[in-house]
Amino acid sequence: MENNYEGIEQTEMGSVKIADEVVEIIAGLAATEIEGVAGMSGGIAGGIAELLGRKNLSKGVKVEVGSKEAAVDLYIVMDYGVSIPEISRLIQEKVKDAIETMTGLIVVEVNVHVQGVVFQKDEEHEEEVIRVK
């Protein structure tokens, strides 16, 4: 296999191009599978982190994909009471493993940006997201 130019791998049978959005979805899904991760953050509006559902797995994820390497930035909302450093490390490991296994790219960095925390307000499980400052 020979790599002719960035992002496209040339094989004997043709070329393979992995879209950035594919890598974003893989990263978002891997991150949200970890217990303690409430979801991905779509940004901050009025001091509150917007919590995205599973239909928006590529939102809250930014990737830079080269010919053989990828760098990932994840914008996360976590559940209240979890160990943020421990969950962040698990996110980094799981996202790196998932991308490398599924795409063959080498993940050089996974940056976790904790945008907020979610806690249960009452027995009806209404969720409120508070921005971490």
Q: Given 3.30.70.1350, 3.30.750.80, 3.90.340.10, 1.10.150.50, which CATH number is that of 2-131?
A: 3.30.70.1350
Given this model, what pLDDT does residue 20 score?
A: 92
Please indicate whether residue 40 or residue 9 has the higher confidence score (pLDDT): 40
Structure tokens at 74: 């994840």
Residue 129 has pLDDT above 80, yes or no: no
pLDDT at 2 over 50: no
Give the percent of the chain with pLDDT over 70: 69
Q: Over the stretch 16-56, which tens digit does the pLDDT of each residue have? A: 888 999 999 999 999 999 999 988 887 554 445 455 555 56
Q: Looking at the predicted structure, is the pLDDT value of residue 1 above 60?
A: no
pLDDT of 60 reads: 87
